Structure 1
């Protein structure tokens, strides 16, 4: 039973390395005994990625590289350090949701490693839009802190969807993780909100609300298309929420 895999114990520091191991390609040692309840730390993985990618962009700017290229470096760094996991989810979701005629066929397409026209279009538009939005942010002060807020908040949507929606299939990464408790999902959102408040002040409240609307829209779409969530849905939700927040800031 799915419920049996849920670890209801209190959050642990090891959850942070578990989340980093799941959501990034950073070389960390982690335990995967309680992956669902470790999802409260997903936002912290976003914080780490944003800081590392942001520092690379800072170095590029310091060496006189044009902000447009520095923005490209930032986006490329986040993609590489995350293993393009979320981008892959966005492409698979686009192919499945709009290439299939019923939930079973959509799930079948999403599982296929090949990428179709819908996936190419979604991936291209997503990457270009993120690059342009980050570039626009770099023309203003405080862009480094704003990007940390975006990467952190966008990953808080993932445990929220994991809790709110059932797994759409009996296999896959999301199904193997189990579903986090309401308290775990709420803790992830709370941590992301605190970090965002520290980064961008009261503007974080507006970002949180906008991100919540975007995540809710993705949840309703997934429910209508496949009756629940998968790892691809979670990754695509992170991408869409991040993009919406970047557009609001830019």
Structure 2
């Protein structure tokens, strides 16, 4: 579904991602873990077209998306849920959701978006209850649900999720990660998950990559990474256990 090969990304003179290669198969949840400043967010913004890589290859379902505008990337089936959720605070919940369907402008697209909206309200009943409420008045967990729903409105095949557990209480993190599994199991979505809460991320993932100072230093099945002593020492000891 997604393949990166030798991707380099710079922020000014900072070499934030260094010859990164990874892949995500259709139907997988793949976790990308690492500390602050490791380059995780940089990599996602490069994949979604918000940053242009200095080199390498990025392909979605076998088609190159390197250098494409973000809107074109969304049309090809990739939705990006950014770090910090970034909902439109003054707008209602429903208006935020409808904005997620901005690429579905023709009649067929509008009909598909209406079906998606109904499905989102089924999956996230709290959003249905608060559809007329200003998004900025929602709790952090509810805003994360809204950000996920907004991304689904584009009809993606692949979701990029950047720190969905950030700033949330452990029980809320647990619920959000259960929702991510539902999106894969019920909607057939593929997920690339960036998360500092490495334990929670690896528990729901099929495979994982460890990113350090812009480089992939370790990869493998999620259960093997969970059992890896170096990963435990570097990334798991500080995590909140969101069981």
Q: Normalising by structure 2, report the TM-score.
A: 0.36
Q: Which has more strand, going by share of residues?
A: 2
Q: Normalising by structure 1, report the TM-score.
A: 0.35
Q: Which has more helix, going by share of residues?
A: 1
